[in-house]
Amino acid sequence: MVRVKSRCWRCGEISLSLQDIILVEHGDGEGTFYTFICGTCGGAQAYPADARFVDFMRMNGAPPVILNPPIEYKEAREEPPLSWDDLLDLHLLLEEGR
Ligand SMILES: [Zn+2]
């Protein structure tokens, strides 16, 4: 079975089987990460995956899972954050509605 070496922030260098690893590609192009649970301490880990590692996983039948953020998430990011003025406006609207 193919083993991959990685690091656990608690245990140091560890050996993983490909089944232990989940490769996650962000659908909005923010990069690909691999994640796993350390077999020794049970800690969840995530690290950026470079193109070579992604190819390696693909060749071994473990292509990345594409993670698409909800549309609302993107739309919300284009709006400026709520300000005090927005809250005051909302407050006045609510007052008028009484
Ligand atoms: Zn560990």
Task: State the pTM of this model.
Answer: 0.66
Look at residues 62, 65, 54 and name the one whose alpha carbon lies nearest to residue 20: 62
Residue 13 within a domain: yes
Of the two residues 69 and 92, the one the predictor is more confident about is 92
33 within some domain: yes
Alpha helix stretches (DSSP H) within the chain: 51-59, 71-78, 84-96
Selection from 15, 67, 59 nearest residue 36 by Cα: 15
Q: What percent of the chain has pLDDT over 90?
A: 53
| pLDDT at 20 exceeding the cut of 80 | yes
Q: Alpha-carbon distance 71 to 28, whole Å?
A: 11
Give the single-character DSSP code of 18.
Answer: G
User: Is 82 a member of any domain?
Assistant: no
Residue 81 lies in a domain: no
Q: pLDDT band at residue 35, thresholds of 50, 70 and 90? A: very high
Asked whether residue 47 is assigned to any structural domain, the reply reads yes
Under the banding of pLDDT at 50, 70 and 90, the label for residue 91 is: confident
Domain that holds residue 13: 3-69
Number of domains comprising the chain:
1
Which protein residues have their CB within 5 A of the ion that is ligand 1?
A: 8, 10-11, 38, 40-41, 43
* Structural domain includes residue 20: yes
Q: Is residue 52 part of a domain?
A: yes
Give the Å distance between the CA of 13 and the centre of ligand 1.
9
> How does the average pLDDT of the chain come out, rounded?
87
The answer on pLDDT for 71 being more than 90 is no
